[in-house]
């Protein structure tokens, strides 16, 4: 039986480029090469696309050939440049391993739609909606699920800091990471926090601080057929969770650890998983996503955020939750591919 030709795209121009490369390395270790013929497409931090041997080593500078995904559906794959000429490679499916802007926000998903190539993960609409936290909250709250109170501001807006109840979180509205996020404890800190967030996005969110445990839930599937991994709990000693900003996240975080399965009552676990599935469906997600919720003292839950292309690194939460439920990363990739082909 012929192997499936799989384009695996990683890297990217967002602040999460290094995380994406680490995720791709884990995918490379787990990929069943008896079933798949991988074509590794690395996007450099400057935006150059390279057809390389894989995500290890100095793939950005090792002479890898320029490549693009063709929007021409008759090509149904890659255009590989070589000395003024190009060759085509037909792909069966694309697996994006990209995080943050231009990888998780619907932009590259639009290119896949034009190309006609089946692709793993959320579509254009759900990717864009989940990337914008304000839109996520509006859709989820309209489905009857609790969300934090929030206000949308811009960097040059005159904000009445006296009207807010502190602490609040100030963050860029459209990002898949905690870069640019500030916990503001007083009105004197507000302007600086808004300026920091605006360095990452012109749309800034001021969000109420929610008192509760941060519980994650990994989801895999399409439509009504959803599989939920084990929940995890982020245990914080101080501050807030921002592991991708650690210098060596593989060795742990200086203020957080993960408890998986989460040390919460069985009824809370069931509520988190069912609420996460409801959020996933309300936002039109497919393939995979990590849904983060707050578990409040009264036993209710509230949405925190949705990551449509969660980290797949050795220290990432999504693969750990799936592993605790009996699915290896190789199993997850298999299902991602199967779901992409079935959906097409």
* CA 313 from centroid of its chain's CA atoms: 12
Query: CA 77, CA 69: separation in Å to the nearest integer?
Result: 6
| 199, two tokens | 């360095």
Beta bridge partners of 95: 8
| 82, two tokens | 């070589």
DSSP conformation letters of 19-43: HHHHHHHHHHHH--TTTEEEEEEEE
Q: Which residues contact 303 (CB under 8 A, 6 or more apart)?
A: 136, 137, 140, 145, 146, 147, 148, 279, 291, 292, 293, 294
Closest CA to 136 of 321, 307, 250: 307
Q: Which residues contact 178 (CB under 8 A, 6 or more apart)?
A: 171, 240, 241, 242, 244, 245
Query: CA 53, CA 40: separation in Å to the nearest integer?
Result: 6
Name residue, tokens 């074509």.
39
Closest CA to 203 of 143, 132, 262, 128: 132
Positions annotated as catalytic residues are 19, 22, 99, 244, 250, 290, 311, 315
Query: CA 267, CA 271: separation in Å to the nearest integer?
Result: 6
Q: Give the SS3 label for residue 176.
A: coil
Per-residue DSSP letter, 246: S
CA torsion sign, 310 to 311 to 312 to 318? Answer: negative
Closest CA to 312 of 339, 286, 336, 284: 336
């Amino acid at each position: 039986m012929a192997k499936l030709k799989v384009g695996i795209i990683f890297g990217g121009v967002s602040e999460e480029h290094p995380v994406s490369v680490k995720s791709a390395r884990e995918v490379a270790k787990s990929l069943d090469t008896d079933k798949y013929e991988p074509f590794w497409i690395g996007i450099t931090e400057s935006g150059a696309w390279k057809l390389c041997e894989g995500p290890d080593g100095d793939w950005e500078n090792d002479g890898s050939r320029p490549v693009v995904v063709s929007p021409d559906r008759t090509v149904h794959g890659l255009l590989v440049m070589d000395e003024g000429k190009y060759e085509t490679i037909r792909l069966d499916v694309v697996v994006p391993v990209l995080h943050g802007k231009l990888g998780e926000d619907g932009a590259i998903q639009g290119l896949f739609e034009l190309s006609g190539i089946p692709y793993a993960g959320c579509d254009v609409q759900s990717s864009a909606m989940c990337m914008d936290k304000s839109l996520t909250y509006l859709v989820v709250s309209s489905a009857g699920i609790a969300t934090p109170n929030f206000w949308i501001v811009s960097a040059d807006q005159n904000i009445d800091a006296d009207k807010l109840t502190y602490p609040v979180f100030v963050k860029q509205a459209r990002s898949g990471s905690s870069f640019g996020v500030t916990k503001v404890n007083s009105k004197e800190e507000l302007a600086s926090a808004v300026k920091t967030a605006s360095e990452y996005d012109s749309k800034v969110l001021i969000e109420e601080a929610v008192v509760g445990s941060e519980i994650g839930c990994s989801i895999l599937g399409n439509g009504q057929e959803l599989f939920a991994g084990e929940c995890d709990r982020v245990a914080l000693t101080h501050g807030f969770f921002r592991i991708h900003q650690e210098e060596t996240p593989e060795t742990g975080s200086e203020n957080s650890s993960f408890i998986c399965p989460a040390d919460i009552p069985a009824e809370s676990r069931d509520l988190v998983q069912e609420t996460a599935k409801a959020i996933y469906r309300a936002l039109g997600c497919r393939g995979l996503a990590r849904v983060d919720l707050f578990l409040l003292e009264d036993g209710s839950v509230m949405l925190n955020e949705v990551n449509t292309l969660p980290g797949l690194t050795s220290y990432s939460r999504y693969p750990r939750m799936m592993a605790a439920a009996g699915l290896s990363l190789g199993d997850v990739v298999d299902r991602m591919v199967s779901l992409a082909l079935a959906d097409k």
